């Protein structure tokens, strides 16, 4: 079931959908919220946030901290410190009891990064809630992909995997034998994607110049993204990327 709530603000409507998933969040090794009826709320256009019915939250773990946050579309929220196990997360929960969006008045929202872990059913989810309207397609291709940095060809392949993700630019994943791995240096930077998993990041050194965080790879992606396992992709706004000989227009969105 999908609903659209119309708050009385200049920002327009807030998109809300009922999720059918069981969703849990943990702090300090303890479950803080566990619900089979959470709401997905698009506070920003790019991905949704989970809101839990107050009855499905261990409200005894929430202490009002006197904070108030104002949202242009949702109204004023009271913030709470969450205490569970040996951990305290300040201003990690909020409630819009007088929101112009009626559906949210009995709901509680947790800051994703303040909590230790999130689960959709029994699978852990990272970074943010999955958008049920986002699709990831990974297709084998025979397009000729060339990557240059400072005029040096650092990768070239006629057998890339093209990843199409809703709302994001196409990404070109190249086999390592087609990449100048001798120029790449693995960094300590790790990123997460709720659809692809955990990625490692590479910098590239040409002569004395180090180009930091230029490429990434998913060594053990989630099952639905296995086709890009171990392949290398480059941030096209940091390199010169050519597709079938034509310069690709750089787009600085995450991979």
pLDDT of the residue at 252: 63
Q: Fold match between 2-124 and 136-247? A: yes
Question: Mean pLDDT for the chain?
Answer: 92
Calculate what percentage of the chain has a pLDDT beyond 70: 94
Closest residue by Cα to residue 235 from 207, 206, 209, 199: 199
The pTM of the full predicted model, rounded to 2 decimals, is: 0.82
- 3-class SS shares of the chain: helix, strand, coil, % to 5: 10, 55, 40
Top-level class of domain 136-247: mainly beta
Closest residue by Cα to residue 92 from 33, 166, 175, 9: 33
Whether the predicted pLDDT of 124 surpasses 60: yes
Domain ranges of the chain: 2-124, 136-247
Cα atoms in the 13 Å half-sphere on the side-chain side of 247: 7
DSSP string, 93-120: EEE-TT-SSGGGTTEEEE-GGGSSEEEE
Can you tell me which residue has the tokens 């025979």?
142
Of the listed ranges 28-42, 57-71, 174-188, the least confidently predicted one is 57-71
13: how many CB neighbours lie within 10 A of its CB? 13
The Cα–Cα gap between 183 and 187 comes to 13
Of the listed ranges 22-26, 225-229, 251-255, the least confidently predicted one is 251-255
Of the listed ranges 11-25, 123-137, 155-169, 226-240, the least confidently predicted one is 11-25
Question: Which CA distances in Å does 34 have to 17, 19, 59, 77, 150?
Answer: 18, 13, 12, 21, 51
- At 6-51, the pLDDT tens digits run 433 334 478 999 999 999 999 999 999 999 999 999 998 889 999 9
Determine the CATH number of domain 2-124. Answer: 2.170.150.40
């Amino acid at each position: 079931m999908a609903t659209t709530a119309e708050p009385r603000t200049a920002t327009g409507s807030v998109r809300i959908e009922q999720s059918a998933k069981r969703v849990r969040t943990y702090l300090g090794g303890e479950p803080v919220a566990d619900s089979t009826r959470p709401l997905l709320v698009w506070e920003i256009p790019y991905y949704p946030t989970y809101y839990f019915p107050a009855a499905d939250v261990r409200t005894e773990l929430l202490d009002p901290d006197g904070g108030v946050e104002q949202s242009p579309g949702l109204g004023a929220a009271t913030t709470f410190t969450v205490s569970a196990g040996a951990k305290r997360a300040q201003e990690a929960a909020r409630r819009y009891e007088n929101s112009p969006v009626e559906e949210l008045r009995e709901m509680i929202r947790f800051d994703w990064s303040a909590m230790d872990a999130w689960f959709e059913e029994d699978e852990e989810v990272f970074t943010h809630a999955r958008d049920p309207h986002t699709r990831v397609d990974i297709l084998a291709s025979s397009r000729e992909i060339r990557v240059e940095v400072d005029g040096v060809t650092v990768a070239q392949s006629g057998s890339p995997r093209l990843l199409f993700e809703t709302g994001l630019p196409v990404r070109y994943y190249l086999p390592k034998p087609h990449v100048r791995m001798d120029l790449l240096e693995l960094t300590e930077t790790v990123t997460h994607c709720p659809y692809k998993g955990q990625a490692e990041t590479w910098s590239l050194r040409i002569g004395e110049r180090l180009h930091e965080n230029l490429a990434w790879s998913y060594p053990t992606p989630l099952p639905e993204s296995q086709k890009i396992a171990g392949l290398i992709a480059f941030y096209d706004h940091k390199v010169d990327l050519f597709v079938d000989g034509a310069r690709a227009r750089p787009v600085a969105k995450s991979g």
